Every structure is written in structure tokens, then in C-alpha cells.
Structure 1
Amino acid sequence: MTNADDIQLPEGLDEMLCFAVYKAEQAFNRVYRVALEPLGLTYPQFLTMRLLWREGSLSVGEISDRLGLDSGTITPLIKRLNAMGLVKKTRRADDERRVDISLTEQGRALEAKSAPAMQCVAKALGMDRDAAQHTLSTINQLTSNLASSTVLTQSSSED
């Protein structure tokens, strides 16, 4: 852990890591908006579909947890994917409260059409595989550090 007194505080926005990450997120959204247009998906819908293409079927809660979104965001997203004919909702027989989301044939077929979108984003990154992996690792570590810090801050403020 670093002592907070030893950290040089940034003076301008362009020196703030949080602002750089925010700008990168906005740039990703712009690239994905164009890349996903042929699929008719928004970025959150695409992430949901990627989860389902890999996992097959997940509960609404599992999708919410994996994407880090609350159920108030996930529920209308799933509803739209269902209306588009890409997913189906099924209540579990052993637990009526649990709703599983799975792909329809149309939803499965969309995966093959998603490769150009992924290639478009990979090209827009302008990084080779090693640089992209290193950046991903750094961002994942940053996320983990921030999540741990939030937990520590919350628990110390509750004392």
C-alpha cells in the first residue's frame, strides 16, 4: 500500500488517471456504436450476448453480476433482446423466482455475424496482442485495487 501523503496529486484533467479512463470508455463506446450497428445491438446488449454465447444460459442475476449492472438496467435490456428474438426467458421449475436467459436460434446465429465487429474494435485499438494483454492486465489490477479500496472505505466509515 502506498502512503497517501507520498502521492503527488494531479493538477489538470489530463494528468488524472480517472479522466483518462473515462475518455477511453467514451472512445470505446463510439467505436462499438459503429461496429455494432450492423448487428442492431447496443454495447450492453452485445456484452450480454457475448456472455450467453460463451455460457449458454444464465440467470438474470448472474448476468447482472457478471456485467456489474443492477437489475433495473438488466431487466429492460433482456426484455429488448427477447423482443428482438435473440433470447428467451424461462422460469426455473425448482425456483419460480429465478429466470434463466438462453439464446434462441436467431441469437446463436448472430455470433457468427459478430466477428467483423470484434475485428473492427481490435483494429481501432492500434495495439498488438501483447500490448493489449498488458493493458488489460493493468486495467484489471486497477479495478481490483479500486474495488478493494471501496470496500475498505465503506467498512471503516461504518465503524
Structure 2
Amino acid sequence: MKKAEPTSDVALDQMLCFAVYKAEQAFNRVYRAALEPLGLTYPQFLTMRLLWRSGSSSVGEISEQLGLDSGTITPLIKRLTNMGLVRKERRADDERRVDIHLTQAGRELEAKSGEVLRCIGQALQMDLQQANVTLQTINHLTSNLTRAANVRTTGTDGDSAPHASIV
């Protein structure tokens, strides 16, 4: 494996990881303000988006799609249940499996959610083509980083490509 070069001469604003970190913070601020009228947090909103598309889903499926562990998803679902937006139902064929269903209030909230996406779109100041290119780039970045993290945890050497000094 090639020896890492010192990075102390690279300013934070020249580091890709810091730019992604700052973008995440900015996204969170914009979403927090946009979601306040709905009374939802960002992870709750993502859960509702999944349910608006499917109508119902298992806790495990929601957890997997959002990349959240059971220690995070369980209280999130409980809060949505307490808000009257979803209901839990154990499967008759497998009582270990819990399905989450939208309530009428949860379905009605979808109509109000369009304003959230409009606010985010306006804040991004991108046309559809720019947004799609950015999404593809971020998905590629996520895929590469996930693969690299998996390589590190399995002990396999994945250091085959040259690395930029700005990461």
C-alpha cells in the first residue's frame, strides 16, 4: 500500500469530505425549517415518504432503506405512531415481523409535504439536469465509500486507485 502523504497543508475548504459535511449541515437547516409546519424531523419525513409510496412497509424494510439501525428506527416509528400518522400491526404469519401502515392523518399529511420539496428545490437553485448530475455524483461517491468501508472491515486491501489530496 502506498504511504499516505501529509495533508496539513490542505485547507478545510479544499477538502471534499468537509464540503460534503457542510452541505449536510446546510441541508439539515433548510429541511428543519421546511418541515417545522408538518411537525416532522428529517428522518420522520423520509419514513413518511417511503410509506406514501408503498402504503405500508415492515420495520425491517424501512430500517434497511433508510440505513438506520433498530435502536434508531424503533423510537422514530413510536413517535410517528404517537402523532397518529402511522399504526403498527404484527403479521399473523410471523409475529416477529411488524408492519407499519399509514393512518388517514398520515395520508392527509402527504398533500402538505409538497411545499417541503418546493422549498428544498428553491434553496438548491439548480435546474433538473444539474440536480440529476449532482445526484448521480453523490450516489457514485456513496457507493465507493460504502465499498471502501466494507473493504476496511473485512481486512481486504482495496487500495488500487490513486487518491486525490483534497479528500
- Shorter-chain TM-score bucket reads over 0.9
2:51 maps to 52
TM-superposition CA deviations, 1:49-100 (whole Å, max 9, x none): 0000011111111111100111111100100000000000000001100000
Give 1:111-150 correspondences, 5 Å limit.
Answer: 111-150=110-149
Tell me how large the CA RMSD over aligned residues is: 2.0
TM-score by length of 2: 0.88
Identical counterparts, % of pairs: 67
TM-aligned CA distance change 1:119 to 1:4, over 3 Å: farther
TM-score by length of 1: 0.92
Higher helix share: 1
1:109 aligns with 2:103: no
1:92 maps to 91
1:83 maps to 82
1:68 aligns with 2:67: yes
Q: Which amino acid aligns with 1:128?
A: D
Unaligned runs of 5+ in 2: 157-167
1:133, distance to aligned residue in structure 2 (A): 0.5
Quick one: distance in 2 between partners of 1:12 and 1:59?
Answer: 45
2:12 maps to 13
Number of residue pairs matched? Answer: 156
Quick one: distance in 2 between partners of 1:39 and 1:47?
Answer: 13
Q: Which amino acid aligns with 1:15?
A: Q
Which structure has more RCO (C-alpha within 8 Å, separation ≥ 6)?
2
Following TM superposition, the consecutive aligned residue runs of length 4 or more in structure 1 with deviations greater than 2 angstroms are: 3-10
Q: Matched residue of 2:64: which SS?
A: helix
